[in-house]
């Protein structure tokens, strides 16, 4: 049964379990509503499968996982910026709102470029070990 709007939590979480539940809700929302998050998750999963196939070293795994999580975190922050900007300006255009959204998207792009570079630096030598 849905809670009435007056029953919704507005204060701090009372327990770690409650905080963890809200965090899982946030991850589910990211996966359900954010197409680009799902795309980044799929590409990251493919990179992990390739890493398993190529038998990466521990150091290579550390770089690969760092790059994957950096992209996912950047996409999460981008989603937050977009939601807050939309909440503040609604359907009204504002130059600062556009700039905030563009800068957040640029952060995702930088993280994705970093991930491609790391992927190339890790995967290409690992592929070379096979031949």
Given the residues 34, 60, 75, 82, the one annotated as active site: 75
Eight-class DSSP state of 2: P
The backbone region for 55, taken as left when phi is positive above 0, alpha when psi lies in -120 to 50, beta otherwise, is left
For 39-87, how does the pLDDT look when each residue is reduced to its tens digit (9 = 90+)? Answer: 999 999 999 999 999 999 999 999 999 999 999 999 999 999 999 999 9
Provide φ and ψ at 40, rounded to 5°: -65, -40
Measured between alpha carbons, how far is 111 from 71 in angstroms, rounded to an integer? 5
Can you read off the two tokens belonging to residue 85?
């900007």
pLDDT per residue as tens digits for the range 91-119: 999 999 999 999 999 999 999 999 999 99
Active site residue 75: yes
CA-CA distance, 31 to 4, in Å (whole number)?
26
Least confident stretch, 8-22, 23-37, 65-79, 97-111: 8-22
The domains located in the chain, with CATH, are 35-130 (1.10.287.3610)
Q: Which of 44, 43, 64, 65 is nearest to 125 (CA)?
A: 64
56-to-22, 43, 61, 112 alpha-carbon distances in Å: 35, 17, 6, 21
Q: Could you tell me what percent of the chain has a pLDDT over 70?
A: 95
């Amino acid at each position: 049964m849905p809670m009435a709007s007056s029953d919704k939590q507005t204060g701090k979480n009372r327990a770690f379990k409650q905080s963890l539940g809200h965090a899982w809700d946030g991850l589910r929302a990211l996966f359900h509503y954010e197409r680009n998050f799902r795309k980044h998750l799929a590409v990251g999963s493919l990179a992990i499968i390739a890493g398993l196939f190529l038998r990466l070293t521990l150091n290579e795994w550390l770089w690969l996982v760092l790059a994957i999580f950096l992209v996912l975190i950047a996409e999460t922050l981008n989603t937050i910026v977009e939601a807050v900007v939309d909440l503040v300006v609604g359907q009204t255009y504002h130059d600062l709102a556009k700039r905030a959204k563009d800068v957040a998207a640029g952060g995702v792009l930088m993280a994705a470029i970093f991930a491609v570079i790391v992927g190339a630096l890790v995967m290409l030598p690992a592929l070379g070990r096979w031949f």
